[in-house]
Every structure is written in structure tokens, then in C-alpha cells.
Homo-oligomer: A and B are copies of this chain.
Amino acid sequence: MRSADLEEIRSLPLFRDMAPAHFAELTRGAYHQSFPPQVDLIVEGRPADFLHVITDGAVELFARWNGRETTMAVVRPVSTFILAACINDAPYLMSARTLVPSRVALIPGTDLRSVFARDPAFAQAIVRELAGSYRGVVRHAKNIKLRNSKERLAAFLIAECERNGRSRTFALPYEKRIIASYLGMTPENLSRALKQLREDGVTIDGATVDLADFDRLCAIALPGRLMDR
């Protein structure tokens, strides 16, 4: 693993405070690999062998059941995913695939659990990370259960706008069909919902969004820390 990569990973909240020897131990057995788009990194149901750290690109976390499929999250650099399954040595509940060319570091779960048992600072960081992930899924579930599709879309646009420093025009971060699946609707319906939002100042040209009336969107989505972070 390149030392620049190591530093990047080391700087993550999850690894920042652990003992240097322990970090070395974790990364000794680790791989850092590049993947083309549409590669399955994780298949749900499999034992959780590796903690994944995405350092470049974008990874979709999704779940399948009975032929249906839904996007649970999209992970972007630099962050970790499927920590919970790994730490519990339990089967993955979600699958993961690259959306674009991506680089992912793979840290063996056995090393992770072994260091976790010995390094209190690391254990604390894991707790913080898990608590954050937990709260993320709770927000997602609330979003799906409490808002209708137009409201979810408005909230999504607001969130993306803020991720882009509140600039009123920005690019959608990934394909619309993924956004649709994440928001729990069909691509067709997303298309219609976007069109419907034109009367609220939303203009779409390809992947480019322009929000002419931020406040109006807020009136629809009523965003807040308790659901949108």
C-alpha cells in the first residue's frame, strides 16, 4: 500500500487516534485495489471478511430481495463501510458495487476485531463511527416512511445543494436511476417528480440542476437535523 494512501486512511476519524503499532498491524494485511465500474465488492449474505475503505470513486450499497433491488446508500471518499457486519463477524446485510472507477482498501476483519479488542482509542472511534452510521440509517428510514416522493426529492436536492456549498446550480452526483432507487421510487416517477418541481423553481438539464427558489423547496421538504443532517 502506498504511503500517501496510508496517510489518507490514517487521517480518518476511525483510525486517527489508534496506536501507531496497531494501525500498522491493520494495514499490514490490507489490500488496496482499483476497480472498474459495476464491480460487485460485496454480496449480501456472505461472511464479512473485510472492512472496506473507499479512497476514490463511489460505491453503492444496495439490497436485493426476491428479484427486487433498492439502493440503501452511496458511499464517497474517504470513508468506511460495512463496519457493523465486520465487527460482529456476521453476514453482510447489504451488497456493494462500484459506480465509477474506484479505489478501495480492504482490511481483514480478523485483524480488525483483534486490534479492536486491544486498542481502547480504536474501540472508541468505532463506537463513534457506528453510532453515526446508525443515525444515518434511522434518518433514511424516517425519510422513506414519513415523506412522500416529491418531498423526498426536494429534500435530496436541498442536501445536494448544501454539499456543493449552497451554490444554486450543481451536478447530480450520480445516475438518476440510482437516485430514484435511493429515494424509493422508480426512474419514471423521479422524472415526473422533477418535472413537477419546475413550478417550484427547479430546472434540470441533463445532470445539471438549478434551484431558483431554495426557500420554496424548503417549504416542501421541511428539512432538519432530525432527518437530513
Q: A88-B128, A145-B184, A146-B65 are in contact. Are A94 and B222 (CB under 8 A)?
A: no
Count of chain A residues near B, Cβ 8 A? 47
Pick from A70, A94, A124 the residue with the most CB of B within 10 Å: A124
In the complex, the answer to whether B144 meets A65 with C-beta atoms within 8 Å is: no
Give chain B nearest CB distance to A170 CB in angstroms: 25
Pick from A64, A88, A145, A227 the residue with the most CB of B within 10 Å: A145
Q: List 21 A-B contacts (CB under 8 A).
A: A44-B226, A45-B225, A45-B226, A66-B222, A72-B142, A72-B145, A83-B131, A84-B131, A84-B135, A93-B139, A116-B127, A123-B127, A126-B127, A127-B130, A130-B130, A130-B134, A137-B141, A140-B141, A141-B144, A144-B144, A145-B184
Give chain B nearest CB distance to A103 CB in angstroms: 25
In the complex, the answer to whether A84 meets B134 with C-beta atoms within 8 Å is: yes
Q: Give the distance in Å from the alpha carbon of A142 to the alpha carbon of B227 in the complex.
A: 18
* Residue A138 interfacial (CB < 8 Å): yes
B residues in contact with A66, CB < 8 Å: 146, 222
Q: A68-B146, A91-B226, A146-B68 are in contact. Are A85 and B135 (CB under 8 A)?
A: yes
Residue of B nearest to A146 (CB): B65
